[in-house]
A and B are shown apart, each in its own frame.
Chain A
Amino acid sequence: MNNFILLVRTKITALRASISTLNLIRTLSFIFVFGTFLGGSYYFFFRVFNYLMSVEIIGPVLMNKILQMAFFIFFIMLLLSNVITSMSTFYNNRELQFLFSLPISPGSIYLAKLFENCLYASWATMIIILPLITAYGVTTRAPIIYYPVSIISVIIYLIIPGAIATGLIFIIRRILPKLKSRDVILLLFGLILSLTFFYLRVNNPALLKVFATENQQDLLRFVENLTAVGGIYVPSTWLSHIIVKLSQGSSQSRFYLLLLLSVTSAIMIIAFYLARLFYTRSWVLVGEYHTRARKKGSPLNRYYGSTKTFLLKDILIFVREPIQWVQLAIFFILLIIYIFSLRKTPIYFTVPVWRTIVSFANFAYICFILATLGVRFIFPSISLERYGVWLIGSSPISFGRIIKIKYLFNFFVAVVIIEGLLFFSNLLIKTDPGFYIILPIIGIFVAASLVSINLGLGAHFPQFNEDNPSRIASGTGGIIAALASIGYVGITIVILALPAYNYLSNIYFRRPLNYPLIILSITGFLVFNIFTIFGPLYLGIRSFEKRDI
């Protein structure tokens, strides 16, 4: 236990040291970014809850369902993200070579690493949950005790997915020691997603149905039938009960808090014993596996010019890094589910005007997806050059050219994704013919801008001391890139919404087309995009060229 405390204390000291090296401007930008995000999220949740409170009967019921649903989704997402981060925290981490050479028990190393892993995998969830529960408390006029107890409950709750993910990894590594990291991740993802699906199907099948009615009584019955989202056996339900009962000042919250605490402790104890039994052996085996990886038939075994060689290098590293492509694969699976779910849109969406509104909303959603993909995969691409940055810096190729090669490749991929998604979703929505032509053209500009924002800011805020792309994307620079990308999409939607509305009014309500408005919006969009395509890229190239490596 002393060793565990020592290791955790060392981590906290290192974290504190890295924070203290931030200069005033960086500290202020950091506070500003977090403050804006927390404030914005709080405002959003507050408005939603406030509105629901004003809706009689159904409003408060829906509020509780939203909490349950949010905590359940967070739980599944945390399980998945803990699986991914655990692979690098518990296996592909250079610090472990030092730790395993020390006279420390694997249990202590496990606990210290679990603490680190939970922090990395859960902090993003935490900064969404905090404004969510605060807004809920303010809206329901919860007593003051509500705030500290609910935050403590959330922290306890965040440990469960970490302990479950690591426990499962240790068991799989013990049974199938030669399984590659990639296969372990895939196996666990398959297991978690299929168990979730079957659990919901058995426990709460109504949740998986798309409800189609305009009758309020039917809707109320439907919502009431949902009972607890995910059922009473999952920690997300207990957490939502703690939050709801605490806000009401009910003593029942104590029961759920004790239940959550005891189950978390039990899972941690099991994971701890699994670590003591299997961790060291599995870590050694993973190390041995690396030395055997042969790649004789590689396309990079042939000689090419600089651009093609560099591109091939990027593609090969991506393909060989399970953390990268497994997450991309998950994204695509979720997108395919989304596209096919569009076939089952509620009944009132079949009206032409609604269908067109839905297709515009769908466009906005696809832009947000591309923004997310950009932050997760394009932003870290410069930081991931950490092993070759000395080579790039000392060889006769400019940083500008490297960034341009990366830009063109990522732009090509982004265009394929956005155009593919737009084509299939518009096909299923049966969108307006005008939108069929206009949206893909706008999509090209969106792809060009989002790639530039993420690549440019990735070059401006590189993290050459970090291996894990997820962690790079969730650093300060990654958050700024995420906010810039979301801001770009938001502004684009606002600029395009007015002419789109005017166009719809003309088609469905025979109102005249406002040409000055349409021309102004298109000009505004083009000017805005010239700035967002060339600005971040220029910033990235300039700061990368000036940087000491």
Chain B
Amino acid sequence: MRPTLSDSKRLIIKNLKKEFNGFWALKGLNLELGQGEIFVLLGPNGAGKTTTLKLITGLLHPTEGEIYIQGIDIKKEPIKAKSYIGYVPDEPFIYPKLTGREFINLVAGLYNVKKEDYEVRLQKLFKKFDVGEWIDELSEGYSHGMKQRVIMCQLLLHNPELILIDEPLVGLDPKTARTVRQTFLKLRQDGKTILISTHTLSFAREIATRLGIINHGELKFTGTLKELAEISGQKDIEEIYLKLTEQ
């Protein structure tokens, strides 16, 4: 049965578990994200961050548990639920034999973006992420940063309500990294919900409304930076992280 939700709940995860050949990557994760929230998931390598994001996007199938996006059960109505999601993977794969522009057009087609919105948004996004003439070159020659910029453009083109990003700053130059930060803050103001998995602690400190520490497949702590500082007895985010992941 679909749970009763207030309109502000963008994402609800209940007792989410994932097993890979006897190894439990997630051991019962519970999380709720509201409208206009930026939730940053921190944790060491192999803690379960990417698995969590992939389960929400439907790239992985949960062993147990439920996921609701805008109140829609992703297991029962995956297509409807996915239409609200924008996802950026940790490795920004683009078809090597397509140009960046062709790839973005493919995404626009898959998400059925309206033609009139498409033209306006595309030009704005190209300007925002400093996309040059290279957008018409085959992506097999792109650097990691160029690919990340294309991925950011495709992400925002279809105006998702829930944005899921795995390591957003890897490979970006400082200028683009700042643009990404500012874009996320603006999206939050517009009422979008963002779930980020990252190792960049300074970025987490600047941008997060709430943080979650995940380790060994369990969400150990969630709260604001202030709350986590109180729990850990540390002030600096790096110290907080190290302290909480040790426990």
Contact = CB atoms under 8 A, between A and B. Distances in A.
A98 interface: no
B97 interface: yes
Nearest to A386: B93
Interface string B86-99: 01010001111111
Contacts of B96: 387
B59 A301 contact: no
B137 A387 contact: no
Interface in B67-118: 78-80, 82-83, 85, 87, 89, 93-99, 101-102, 105-113, 115, 118
B65 to A, nearest CB: 15
Contacts of A391: 106-107, 110
B141 interface: yes
Contact of B59 (A294, A296, A387, A393): A393
A221 interface: no
Interface residues of B, number: 41
Contacts of A393: 57-59
A294 B137 contact: yes
A394 B58 contact: yes
Interface string A282-304: 00000000111111101011111
A313 B115 CA distance: 18
Contacts of B109: 303-306, 308-310
Contact of A390 (B93, B105, B110): B93
A498 interface: no
Contacts of B82: 394-396
Specify which of A292, A317, A321, A387 lies most central, judged by the most chain B CB atoms within 10 Å of its CB. Answer: A387
A396 B109 CA distance: 10
B138 interface: yes
Instruction: State which size class the interface on A falls in.
Output: 35 or more
Contact of A303 (B85, B98, B105, B140): B105
A442 to B, nearest CB: 36
Contacts of B119: 303
Contacts of B94: 387-388
A310 B138 CA distance: 17
A548 interface: yes
A387 to B, nearest CB: 4
Nearest to B134: A291
Contacts of A291: 137, 141
A292 B78 CA distance: 40
Interface string B118-156: 110000000000000000111011000000000000000
Contacts of A290: 138, 140-141
Specify which of A308, A310, A317, A548 lies most central, judged by the most chain B CB atoms within 10 Å of its CB. Answer: A548
Contacts of B83: 396
B105 A316 contact: no
B58 A302 contact: no
A313 B58 contact: no
A1 interface: no
A398 interface: yes
Contacts of A394: 57-59, 82, 85, 87
A548 to B, nearest CB: 5
Contact of B97 (A309, A310, A320, A386): A320
B60 interface: yes
Given A298-B99, A317-B95, A310 B58 contact: no
A292 B137 contact: yes
B78 to A, nearest CB: 7
A259 interface: no
A316 B97 CA distance: 8
Nearest to B114: A303
Given A291-B137, A395-B110, A301 B115 contact: no
A306 B136 contact: no
Contacts of A295: 99, 102, 136-138
A470 B163 CA distance: 37
Contacts of B107: 391, 395
A395 B79 CA distance: 8
Contacts of A320: 97, 138
Contacts of B60: 548-549
A313 B109 CA distance: 11
B61 interface: yes
Interface in A379-395: 386-388, 390-395
B79 A397 contact: yes
B31 to A, nearest CB: 18
A546 interface: yes
A300 B93 CA distance: 19
B58 to A, nearest CB: 6
Interface in B7-36: 20
Contacts of A398: 78-79
A359 to B, nearest CB: 41
B218 to A, nearest CB: 20
A392 B103 CA distance: 12
Contact of B98 (A294, A306, A313, A390): A313
Contacts of A308: 109
A325 to B, nearest CB: 12
A388 B59 contact: no
B205 interface: no
Contact of B93 (A292, A294, A388, A548): A388
12 contacts: A298-B101, A300-B98, A303-B113, A303-B115, A388-B95, A388-B106, A391-B107, A394-B87, A395-B110, A395-B111, A548-B61, A549-B54
Given A302-B105, A398-B78, 16 more contacts: A290-B141, A298-B101, A298-B102, A298-B136, A300-B98, A300-B106, A306-B110, A309-B106, A313-B106, A320-B97, A394-B57, A394-B59, A394-B85, A395-B107, A395-B110, A397-B79
A-B pairs, 8 with minimum CB distance:
A309-B109, A291-B141, A396-B83, A394-B57, A290-B141, A300-B102, A320-B97, A394-B87
